[in-house]
């Protein structure tokens, strides 16, 4: 799922400085699961903003609300108060939510409360790690299920570079060397031949190289008007 | 067998034990000093001189320019290329530029991540990895490049380059099998010689050399000159795949300050001498102490 | 499991009503004949909110003080704590709370106007008193006609004072009277007035609540001797200070509570030796186990499996009672059908006999009225409507129900008041006795994880000190014991419930529950029979998708606001959230020692205190918030103290982000502390700024 982190508070306050009526809007999907943008976090952030404003002697209405997802228009129907009653929305959904809501509701500025970081999974309680890069051309078939694009700092495709330090990537010591993990796993699976295979340079068209991406299922498109008899 | 495309290739083919050196370009346009060092200490003493490419992700003048300047001074360059900073278009273009400049020896490297250097906020490229770069070189040599024409057919080059293609390997890493597999792939992709990362442990190196017997390309063992015990300890802790034995660290600590350079050279020379029977050459990385090169060569028993 | 999934819309509708808690009842409430909200009053008591506790009790149980002494506590028999260690001593806590400030200590809910019909009630026992209270609160004008000189019924006339002192009964009677109930004593309906007289006098309805005021007679030879006393009459005379003459050796015939009461009363009135003889074996004997035990301790012999055949009189004096052995008391269908072995006979020496073989109704109140007894000499009554053949005459209590306890009589009284109210409003009498589903038993693996706390013992007078006087045998709990005992309540049914439309299946509740209860299928599912109501998951859920059935999980800041507003003083106000599990409470005892500006909110556990609560308490105007914790080992729930500390640190971090200094939130650790220590620590934390 998408993992995101709260932006630094001073950045948020700077963004909201011109506004007097703000809605902090959470999202019930990925950001709830990684404990960054759920209703509880929206409550806490709104309380922080109100306390900060009061401290400065500023007027600020900061409400908190949360909808099931911010990437489909229909969920906005569940808001406690209409968006138009605010001068700004601080969305604490992922970047998709911010962008989508901005598009759907152009009358009110939708500002990002989070920095969206990666696609990840929960490893141990309270920790999420990057597992996928969204490269559009999944190679997990020949890497024993471990993604070299996301889990190798250099996104190499032919094996480790010289920078493996005690099994960890020299770029980030908490990070395992992705290719070492792949090597071990392929060895376990008896598939080292995959590692021996020369992999040609990747086609980056699938990874934004060809521009903004889109998925369409034509069978789900709105039905055309019935032709008149 | 095609004739050697470079003096380095010729030297390695001759069966002589080959020594190469290395210079790093300056951070700025003042190339005088480093060229002077190369002329003074390396010219005529080593078979070729590597020019590092934005080493450790610290921005410097380009290895292409310095390689050309070495060539103009009668010194055989090894043009190092990292894939970190340029996409396949730029890399292929630079390869053609290098050939046009008369440069033949190319060392294909992945390159340290931008996080290690002085521009950590820059965007790492890695469009190709080292294997991909070797593939690119091989492709150019075949008269094509990595792209397609509008009809989808391979492109045809107007003027075809030839290179002596090198790669690197880390013999003293903990998990050695993945390194060996990658080396096999580099050879399959076209690598014709290997310069290793620093080795300080001859028995370990011997074992490694036996494991890559089947990869029949010449290997030059890498030696980084140890400037102090502190540097050795630092490398043990932080540089992956490098293990300086305790004995050498003691030797460096015991050396009085005024004698340090001599001891350093002794150590380097001794290591070359010890590992000489195991490989085809040695690559000396002096980190600016180029003045030690003559001494090291002497210590190694390689002086003419 | 619960009845159906709960969505946030449902929850919003149920909020601020009792309906959330009514989705599932705790077994104590279910077993209680009046369905008192045991869990709620134990929670109030656990926090020292004594007045709230007694008010909750009295919502359903008018005779709170009486029951605090003599209730047979089916609640305790069903308390789920017995599967962990011992059931909660609910009756003892009730006693403490009821007797703490007497009648004045409970809120009186007098109807603003009492101008509806007048209703006469025959009999001032528990059933009649309960019905009268309900009618008065509904605006009717009830008058109780009690033949004895004081109201209270069997509790006042036949339960000995060592078990139920007179003053205790008076607490309940006074509280009931304060609602506008009139009691006329010394007037016997059927003798001084008839039922029809009452109707003529303007009572639009009459409720017969005469109980079982007579002892059943024992038809054996010799029973007409003057020293043979029917037990109820004997006890009543003793209760009014005019006990009949007793010899040296008293034999009580009978195996119920009345028999034991009679025996122990006889002992206290000076009999040298008292024995009790019953048909039943020890296991079958119907008297309460603790009564039997105390009687034996006092030296009363209990002879089992003996039936009386004759009172032997010689020279005009009773010398003994002839007996035969009982072979069985109950038949295969558990019906009373004793069989004897007439060959096995014996004689028990005695000079006084008390007959306590059961109670019977006294239908004297029918005297001179149009209402007649049925062919079995009983008062005819429709059990569904409690109406007799005369439409304005109703009946409730033991006169028409099977013999029962005080609380059962109260339940009957409630029903009667309801029926009468419907009748007087011209509506059909339909009584709804349905109750919500009851929580199931606690699984053994969960029971194992609950922190064991032993039950607070009740101090009793030793047998030698008590057997010659009517001083109360059982001492009251002291405040600390009442607090500790009420904190043993597991809040069955009050725990977490998932709002299925908000749950994102993020697994947080599963990860933080110290009892491993949540299961995640499509959404989180928290089994109410296992949930210990600690509140940890509720405070951690990122989607605010878990609510508590038993409390308002988002209500703490408002509570803090109320506490701030009610704290006197013009200076800065501090709010202390105190872990109520160990900290002592003295809210009812006066504010004298409390430091100025300190508002205290007790929580059953800091597990309930969320990060948001801390921020919002500052928003509500607290100059600083003090969190008063107990050491991890002393916490009621595993890991709660550590979770609370993490949230505290997180709140400080959030405050730091907006430039609010760390000392606006303070953490104080209280050892097992009394009031003074608590206030000292809190004052220290609050003042340091």
CB contact under 8 A, A43 and C544: yes
Q: Which residue has the tokens 């034509």?
A: A218
Provide the pLDDT confidence category of residue C589 given band limits of 50, 70 and 90.
Answer: very low
Q: Could you tell me if A15 and A107 lie in one domain?
A: yes
Q: Could you tell me if A100 and A197 lie in one domain?
A: no
pLDDT in tens, C378-415: 899 999 999 999 999 999 999 999 889 999 999 999 99
Q: What percentage of residues in chain C have a pLDDT greater than 70?
A: 95
Provide the pLDDT confidence category of residue C678 given band limits of 50, 70 and 90.
Answer: low
Please compute the mean of the pLDDT values over residues C305-322 and round it to a whole number.
95
A&C contacts, CB < 8 Å: 72
CB contact under 8 A, A38 and C658: no
Partner residue opposite B129 with nearest CB, options A157, A172, A187: A157
Residue C523 has pLDDT above 80, yes or no: yes
> Which chains touch B (3+ CB pairs under 8 A)?
A
CA distance readout (Å), C426 to A66, B153, C391, C625:
51, 99, 12, 57
Inter-residue contact C88 to C488 (CB < 8 Å): yes
Chain C interface residues facing chain A, Cβ-Cβ under 8 Å? Answer: 502, 504-508, 511, 541-545, 610-612, 615-616, 618-619, 654-655, 657-660
Residue A223 lies in a domain: no
A39 touches C at CB < 8 Å: yes
pLDDT the model gives residue C676: 66
For chain C, report the end-to-end CA distance as a whole number of angstroms. Answer: 50
* Those residues with Cβ within 8 angstroms of residue A38's Cβ, 6 or more apart along the chain or in another chain: A26, A27, A28, A31, A32, A66, C504, C506, C542, C543, C544
Residue B101 lies in a domain: yes
Minimum mean pLDDT range among A180-184, B232-236, C6-10: C6-10
Please compute the mean of the pLDDT values over residues B138-158 and round it to a whole number.
96
Range of the domain at B210: 16-219
Residue A193 lies in a domain: yes
Record the tokens describing residue B109, joined without a space.
């490297």
Please compute the mean of the pLDDT values over residues C574-587 and round it to a whole number.
70
Residue B71 has pLDDT above 70, yes or no: yes
d(CA A27, CA C112): 50
| CA dihedral over A134, A135, A140, A141, signed as positive or negative | positive
Chain A closest CA to B60's CA: distance in Å?
21
Q: Could you tell me if A32 and A85 lie in one domain?
A: yes
Contacts of A192 in chain B (CB under 8 A): 181
Are there at least 3 beta-carbon pairs closer than 8 Å between C and B?
no
d(CA C208, CA C92): 32
- The reply to whether ipTM tops 0.90 is no
Q: Could you tell me if A75 and A162 lie in one domain?
A: no
Residue B298 lies in a domain: no
Q: Could you tell me if A26 and A109 lie in one domain?
A: yes
Residue A184 has phi, psi (to 5 degrees) of -65, -40
Chain A closest CA to C496's CA: distance in Å?
17
A218 touches B at CB < 8 Å: no
Residue B184 has pLDDT above 90, yes or no: yes
pLDDT the model gives residue C588: 34
Beta-strand runs (E) in C186-290: 203-208, 214-215, 228-230, 249-253, 273-277
Residue A64 lies in a domain: yes
pLDDT the model gives residue C298: 95
Contacts of A49 in chain C (CB under 8 A): 658
Please compute the mean of the pLDDT values over residues C229-251 and round it to a whole number.
95
User: From the CB of residue C448, how many other CB atoms can be counted at a distance below 10 Å?
Assistant: 12
CB contact under 8 A, B84 and A154: yes
d(CA B105, CA B5): 8
Partner residue opposite A40 with nearest CB, options C542, C655, C657: C542
Provide the pLDDT confidence category of residue C377 given band limits of 50, 70 and 90.
Answer: confident
Provide the pLDDT confidence category of residue A109 given band limits of 50, 70 and 90.
Answer: very high
Range of the domain at A160: 135-206
Query: Domain tally for chain B?
Result: 1
Helix (H, G, I), strand (E, B) or coil at C306: strand
Record the tokens describing residue C22, joined without a space.
């009514």
Are there at least 3 beta-carbon pairs closer than 8 Å between B and A?
yes
Q: Could you tell me if A13 and A98 lie in one domain?
A: yes
Please compute the mean of the pLDDT values over residues B232-247 and round it to a whole number.
88
Residue B37 lies in a domain: yes
Residue B143 lies in a domain: yes
pLDDT in tens, C632-668: 877 789 899 899 999 999 999 999 999 999 989 999 8
Helix (H, G, I), strand (E, B) or coil at C120: strand
Contacts of A29 in chain C (CB under 8 A): 504
Q: Could you tell me if A113 and A19 lie in one domain?
A: yes
Partner residue opposite A39 with nearest CB, options C507, C544, C654: C544
Please compute the mean of the pLDDT values over residues B152-179 and round it to a whole number.
94
Contacts of B175 in chain A (CB under 8 A): 160, 164, 167, 180, 183
Where b means 16+ CB within 10 Å and e means fewer, C91-108 reads bbbbbbbbbbebbebbee
Residue B279 lies in a domain: no
Helix (H, G, I), strand (E, B) or coil at C577: strand
Which of C476, C475, C477 has its CA nearest to residue C460? C475
Mean residue pLDDT across chain B:
95
Contacts of C545 in chain A (CB under 8 A): 39
CB contact under 8 A, B182 and A154: no
d(CA C417, CA C408): 14
> Which chains touch C (3+ CB pairs under 8 A)?
A
Where b means 16+ CB within 10 Å and e means fewer, A181-197 reads bbbbebeeeeebeebee
Full 3-state SS string of C671-689? CCCCHHHHHHHHHHHHHCC
Chain C closest CA to A26's CA: distance in Å?
9
Mean residue pLDDT across chain C:
91
pLDDT the model gives residue C586: 46
pLDDT the model gives residue C587: 42
Most confident of B70-74, B298-302, C22-26, C359-363: B70-74
Inter-residue contact C355 to C215 (CB < 8 Å): yes
Say if strands C574-579 and C598-603 run parallel, antiparallel, or are unpaired: parallel
Query: Domain tally for chain A?
Result: 2
Residue B30 lies in a domain: yes
Which neighbouring-strand residues pair with A164? A169
Residue B253 has pLDDT above 70, yes or no: yes
Q: Could you tell me if A150 and A51 lie in one domain?
A: no
Helix (H, G, I), strand (E, B) or coil at C360: strand
B117 touches A at CB < 8 Å: no
Q: Could you tell me if A100 and A181 lie in one domain?
A: no
CB contact under 8 A, C543 and A66: yes
Cα angle value B58/B59/B60 (rounded, 5°) = 115
For chain A, report the end-to-end CA distance as a whole number of angstroms. Answer: 48
Residue A69 has phi, psi (to 5 degrees) of -150, 150
Please compute the mean of the pLDDT values over residues B268-295 and round it to a whole number.
94
Which neighbouring-strand residues pair with C630? C670
Q: Could you tell me if A114 and A141 lie in one domain?
A: no
Per the model's pLDDT, the better-predicted residue between C4 and B161 turns out to be B161
Q: Could you tell me if A100 and A194 lie in one domain?
A: no
CA distance readout (Å), C559 to C233, C351, C581, C681:
54, 67, 18, 22
- Please provide the DSSP assignment of C524-555 as one string: EE--TTT-----HHHHH-TT--EEESSS-TT-
Domain at A24, CATH number: 3.40.50
Partner residue opposite B178 with nearest CB, options A170, A179, A200: A179
Q: Which of A118, A145, A171 is the last residue of a domain?
A: A118
Domain at B173, CATH number: 3.20.20.220
Residue from C500, C542, C655 whose CB has the most chain A CBs within 10 Å, to mutate: C542
Residue B109 lies in a domain: yes
* Tally of CA atoms within 13 A in the half-sphere of A194 that contains its CB: 20
Please compute the mean of the pLDDT values over residues C21-40 and round it to a whole number.
93
Inter-residue contact C258 to C232 (CB < 8 Å): yes
B130 touches A at CB < 8 Å: yes
pLDDT the model gives residue B1: 63
d(CA A156, CA A166): 19
The C-alpha R_g of chain B, in whole angstroms, comes to 19
* Tally of CA atoms within 13 A in the half-sphere of A92 that contains its CB: 34
Please compute the mean of the pLDDT values over residues C494-509 and round it to a whole number.
94
CB contact under 8 A, A158 and B132: yes
Provide the pLDDT confidence category of residue C122 given band limits of 50, 70 and 90.
Answer: very high
Residue from A139, A151, A159 whose CB has the most chain B CBs within 10 Å, to mutate: A159
CB contact under 8 A, A35 and C508: yes
pLDDT in tens, A27-72: 999 999 999 999 999 999 999 999 999 999 999 999 999 999 999 9
Q: Under the phi-then-psi rule, with left for phi > 0, alpha for psi from -120 to 50, and beta for the rest, what region is C299?
A: left
Which of A105, A133, A109 has its CA nearest to residue A119? A133
- Please provide the DSSP assignment of B17-54 as one string: PEEEEEE---SSS--HHHHHHIIIIITTTSSEEEE-SS
pLDDT the model gives residue C658: 96
Q: Could you tell me if A19 and A77 lie in one domain?
A: yes
Please compute the mean of the pLDDT values over residues B3-7 and round it to a whole number.
95
* CA C520 to the chain's CA centroid: 38
Residue B65 lies in a domain: yes
d(CA C295, CA C246): 18
Q: What percentage of residues in chain B have a pLDDT greater than 90?
A: 92
CB contact under 8 A, C541 and A44: no
């Amino acid at each position: 799922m998408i993992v995101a982190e709260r932006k630094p508070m001073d950045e948020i306050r700077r963004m909201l400085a011109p506004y007097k009526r703000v809605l902090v809007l959470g999202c019930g999907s990925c950001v709830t699961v990684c404990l960054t943008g759920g209703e509880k976090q929206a409550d806490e952030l709104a309380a922080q903003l109100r306390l900060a404003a009061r401290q400065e002697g500023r007027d600020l209405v900061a409400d908190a609300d949360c909808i099931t997802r911010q990437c489909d228009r229909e969920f906005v129907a569940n808001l406690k108060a209409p968006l138009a009653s605010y001068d700004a929305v601080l969305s604490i959904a992922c970047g998709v939510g911010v962008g989508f809501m901005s598009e759907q509701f152009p009358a009110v500025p939708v500002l990002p409360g989070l920095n969206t970081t990666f696609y990840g999974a929960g490893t141990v309680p309270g920790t999420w790690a990057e597992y996928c890069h969204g490269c559009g051309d999944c190679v997990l078939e020949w890497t024993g299920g471990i993604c070299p694009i996301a889990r190798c700092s250099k996104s190499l495709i032919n094996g480790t570079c010289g920078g493996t330090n005690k099994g960890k990537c020299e770029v980030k010591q908490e990070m395992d060397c992705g290719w070492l993990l792949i090597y071990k796993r392929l060895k376990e699976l008896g598939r080292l031949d995959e590692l021996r295979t020369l992999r040609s340079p990747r086609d980056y068209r699938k990874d934004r190289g060809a521009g903004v991406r889109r998925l369409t299922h034509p069978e789900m498109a709105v039905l055309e008007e019935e032709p008149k008899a | 067998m095609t004739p050697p495309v470079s003096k380095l290739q010729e030297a390695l083919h001759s069966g002589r034990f080959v020594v190469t050196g290395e210079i790093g370009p300056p951070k700025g346009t003042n190339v005088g000093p480093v060229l002077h060092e190369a002329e003074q200490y390396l010219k005529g003493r080593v078979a070729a001189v590597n020019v590092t490419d934005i080493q450790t992700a610290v921005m410097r003048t380009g290895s292409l320019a310095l390689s050309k300047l070495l060539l103009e001074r009668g010194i055989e360059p090894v043009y190092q290329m990292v894939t970190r900073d340029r996409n396949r278009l730029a890399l292929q273009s630079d390869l053609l530029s290098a050939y046009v400049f008369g440069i033949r020896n190319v060392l294909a490297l992945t390159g340290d991540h931008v996080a290690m250097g002085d521009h950590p906020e820059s965007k790492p490229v890695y469009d190709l990895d080292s294997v991909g770069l070797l593939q690119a070189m091989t492709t150019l040599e075949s008269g094509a490049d990595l792209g397609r024409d509008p009809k989808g057919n391979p492109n045809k080059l107007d003027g075809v380059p030839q290179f002596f293609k090198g790669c690197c390997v880390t013999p003293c890493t903990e998990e050695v099998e993945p390194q060996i597999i990658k080396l096999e792939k580099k050879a399959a992709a076209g690598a014709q010689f290997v310069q290793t990362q620093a080795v300080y442990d001859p028995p370990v190196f011997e074992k490694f050399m036996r494991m890559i017997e089947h990869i029949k390309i010449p290997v030059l063992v890498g030696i980084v000159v140890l400037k102090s015990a502190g540097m050795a300890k630092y490398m043990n802790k932080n540089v992956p795949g490098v293990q300086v034995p305790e004995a050498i660290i003691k030797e460096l600590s015991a050396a009085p300050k005024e004698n340090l350079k001599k001891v350093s050279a002794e150590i380097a020379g001794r290591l070359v001498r010890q590992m000489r029977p195991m490989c085809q050459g040695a690559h000396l990385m002096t980190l600016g102490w180029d003045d030690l090169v003559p001494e090291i060569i002497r210590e190694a028993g390689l002086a003419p | 499991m619960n009845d159906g999934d709960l969505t946030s819309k449902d929850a919003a509708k149920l909020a601020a009503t009792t309906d959330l808690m009514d989705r599932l009842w705790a077994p104590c409430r279910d077993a209680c004949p009046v369905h008192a909200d045991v869990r709620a009053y134990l929670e109030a008591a656990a926090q020292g909110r004594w007045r709230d506790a007694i008010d909750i009790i009295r919502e359903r149980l008018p005779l709170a003080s009486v029951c605090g002494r003599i209730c047979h506590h089916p609640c305790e028999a069903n308390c789920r704590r017995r599967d962990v260690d011992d059931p909660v001593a609910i009756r003892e806590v009730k006693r403490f709370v009821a007797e703490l400030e007497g009648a004045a200590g409970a809120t009186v809910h007098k109807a603003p106007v009492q101008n509806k019909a007048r209703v006469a009630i025959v009999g001032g026992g528990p059933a009649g008193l309960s019905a009268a209270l309900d009618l008065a609160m509904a605006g009717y004008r009830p008058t109780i006609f009690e033949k004895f000189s004081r109201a209270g019924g069997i509790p006042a006339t036949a339960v000995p004072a060592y078990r139920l002192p007179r003053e205790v009964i008076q607490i309940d009677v006074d509280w009931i009277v304060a609602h506008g109930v009139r009691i006329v004593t010394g007037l016997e309906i059927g003798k001084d007035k008839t039922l029809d007289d009452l109707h003529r006098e303007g009572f639009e309805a009459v409720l017969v609540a005469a109980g079982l005021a007579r002892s059943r007679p024992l038809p054996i030879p010799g029973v007409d001797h003057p020293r043979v006393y029917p037990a109820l009459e004997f006890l009543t005379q003793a209760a009014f200070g005019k006990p009949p003459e007793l010899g040296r050796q008293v034999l009580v015939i009978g195996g119920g509570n009345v028999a034991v009461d009679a025996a122990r009363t006889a002992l206290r009135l000076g009999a040298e030796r008292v024995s009790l003889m019953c048909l039943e074996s020890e296991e079958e004997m119907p008297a309460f186990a603790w009564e039997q035990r105390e009687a034996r301790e006092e030296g009363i012999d209990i002879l089992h499996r003996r039936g009386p055949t004759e009172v032997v009189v010689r020279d005009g004096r009773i010398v003994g009672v002839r007996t035969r052995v009982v072979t069985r008391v109950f038949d295969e269908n558990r019906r009373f059908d004793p069989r004897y072995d007439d060959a096995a006979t014996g004689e028990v020496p005695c000079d006084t006999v008390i007959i306590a073989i059961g109670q019977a109704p006294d239908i004297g109140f029918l005297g001179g009225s149009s209402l007649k007894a049925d062919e079995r000499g009983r008062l005819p009554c429709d059990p569904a409507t409690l109406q007799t053949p005369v439409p304005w005459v109703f009946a409730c209590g033991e006169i028409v129900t099977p013999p029962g306890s005080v609380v059962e009589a109260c339940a009957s009284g409630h029903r009667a008041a309801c029926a009468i109210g419907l009748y007087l409003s011209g509506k059909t009498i339909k009584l709804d006795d349905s109750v919500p589903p009851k929580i199931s038993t606690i699984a053994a693996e969960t029971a194992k994880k609950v922190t064991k706390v032993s039950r607070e013992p009740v101090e009793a007078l030793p047998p030698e000190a008590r057997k010659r006087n009517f001083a109360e045998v059982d001492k009251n709990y002291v405040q600390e014991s009442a607090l500790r005992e009420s904190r043993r309540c597991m809040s069955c049914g009050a725990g977490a419930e998932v709002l299925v439309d908000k749950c994102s299946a993020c697994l947080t509740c599963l990860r933080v529950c110290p009892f491993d209860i949540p299961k995640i299928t499509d959404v989180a599912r928290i089994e109410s029979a296992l949930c210990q109501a600690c509140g940890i998951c509720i405070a951690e859920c990122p989607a605010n998708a878990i609510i508590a059935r038993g409390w308002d999980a988002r209500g703490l800041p408002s509570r803090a606001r109320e506490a701030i507003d009610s704290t006197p003083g013009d200076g800065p106000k501090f709010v202390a959230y105190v872990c109520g599990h160990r900290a002592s409470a003295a809210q009812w005892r006066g504010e004298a020692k409390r430091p100025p500006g300190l508002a205290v909110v007790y929580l059953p556990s800091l597990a309930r205190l969320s990060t948001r609560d801390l921020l919002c308490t500052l928003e509500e105007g607290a100059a600083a918030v003090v969190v008063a914790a107990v050491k991890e080992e002393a916490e009621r729930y595993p890991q709660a103290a550590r979770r609370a500390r993490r949230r505290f640190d997180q709140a400080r971090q959030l405050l730091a982000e907006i430039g609010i200094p760390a000392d606006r939130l303070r953490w104080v650790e209280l050892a097992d502390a009394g009031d003074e220590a608590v206030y000292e620590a809190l004052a220290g934390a609050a003042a340091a700024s």
